[in-house]
Structure 1
């Protein structure tokens, strides 16, 4: 959809993105979640490939190409995503605030920058595509980050925010599938008692409750190309139209925004 209403989407023109969103893809991604911390190469390698495919499909549906495009990954972590985007001809840039996270996988990226997603160290209108994958739920000001992403996107380019919905099945991340429904602090304490150490994603510090409604409210009034549940097959995208239900059944929400010229 192109317009400013983040509901009632017209999906017929999104043929490349819809073709990617199959049940088998969804199942494969869901199965890989259990390896996030124990075997990160499996999890992040698969997620990187899927993210590049997704951004490529969204770009083609928007009349853009990754060939020769400058792509900014906000919160890119240890660099698993770079190779996948470079294989598609893009010039990849990564921003990550945590120096330890940047070097965790021993991957060297020429265009990796240490910086804050809510104050990106780039000039206005620099990149054709700016995206963040599973970052918004880890910072306390996710929509300030989204504003910054739009700021550094070139007019006509795309800003893509993909994040884990708190009330979805994976909202608690490694602290469990149901514990976060009792509360984030409860989930943290239970994890620490069970495992003898704090979780990687600590409630109130590096994990926050971000709802689907917040994302839809943020998108309102902007040029929205598409809003959809990332890990669902395309026939299940209708979930995001239904209040309350979307909070529990959307594991990850994707906002696809087009940057408009300043005079519009």
Structure 2
């Protein structure tokens, strides 16, 4: 089944506002929020790489499976790899695999598209994680990686934007305000990943080329803002890397 594209362009202010409103309702209506995000992300994959129907997609760290379901709805042969059983929820997609993103149970070059949305900031060793995404992607295949950079307004996740005053203080404030422990702890399941070092790391590889390095949600000049050191750490909000695996 083919899904129609959303009634907005990417990038556009209308699209950004729609996503922002969905994020604000994440706690109250997570299904609507993540279903919209999944449609938007798969639209991006298809914009860079054509229809996903019939193609093998590895969704790495996809949580309860919103992205996997959207890929499958468009005819892709998608499989979810998630390291945390709690994140899979009560009804994960059929065939979901408990697997660490550092060591995926896939052969070299098994996937046409390797997809990772908002995972990189949750791994202690981004270099090894990225290397594994590259390994399982076939030569000529596409790699989609996005992450929330630490200095963006949402860098502290549920305790943002108070992370600018320090992670410990922000976490304590969240717990006082909500009466429950914060989900994320800096240095345990959330890490300070930055745009500049990540770009330098990827550009230093000889097995991938960058198709696009852009802000995932920004409404205009998405690639331009990423080119400005300093500013990009705050304004990018969420870095999207579209990579192409180089021929063997």
- Return the TM-score normalized by structure 1: 0.85
Deviates more, 1:49-58 or 1:34-43: 34-43
* Structure 1 residues 236 and 125, CA gap change in structure 2 (3 angstroms): closer
Runs of 5+ in structure 2 lacking a partner? Answer: 1-7
Deviation of the 1:108 alpha carbon: 3.8
The answer on whether the counterparts of 1:215 and 1:255 sit within 8 Å (CA) in structure 2 is no
Asked if 1:71 corresponds to 2:54, the answer is no
Report the CA distance between 1:37 and its aligned residue: 2.8
* Aligned residue in 1 for 2:135: 151
Equivalent residue pairs, number = 238
Alignment correspondent of 2:114: 130
Q: Which residue of 2 aligns with 1:217?
A: 200
1:250 is matched with 236
Q: Distance in 1 between matches of 2:152 and 2:19?
A: 15
Aligned to 2:14: 24
Q: Indicate yes or no: 2:160 matched with 1:176.
A: yes
* Residue in structure 2 matched with residue 54 of structure 1 by the alignment: 44
Bigger shift: residues 230-239 or 157-166: 230-239
Render the CA deviation track for 1:160-207: whole Å, top value 9, x for unaligned. Answer: 110001101110111022x11112222112212222221112222111
Q: Unpaired runs of 5+ in structure 1?
A: 1-17
2:109 aligned with 1:119, yes or no? no
Contact conserved, 2:69 with 2:93, CA < 8 A, in 1? no
Aligned to 2:83: 97
Q: Which moved more, 1:159-168 or 1:183-192?
A: 183-192
Aligned Cα root-mean-square deviation (Å): 1.6
Where 2:66 maps in the other structure, the secondary structure is coil
The 2-side partners of 1:191 and 1:114 are apart by 30
Query: Equivalents in 1 of 2:27, 2:82: separation in Å?
Result: 18
CA apart distance, 1:234: 4.1
Question: Is 2:67 the counterpart of 1:81?
Answer: yes
Q: Is the 8 A contact 2:212 2:223 kept in 1?
A: no
Is structure 2 residue 24 aligned with structure 1 residue 34?
yes
State the distance in 1 between where 2:121 and 2:27 align.
Answer: 17
Compute the TM-score of the two structures, normalised by the length of structure 2: 0.91
SS at match of 2:224: helix
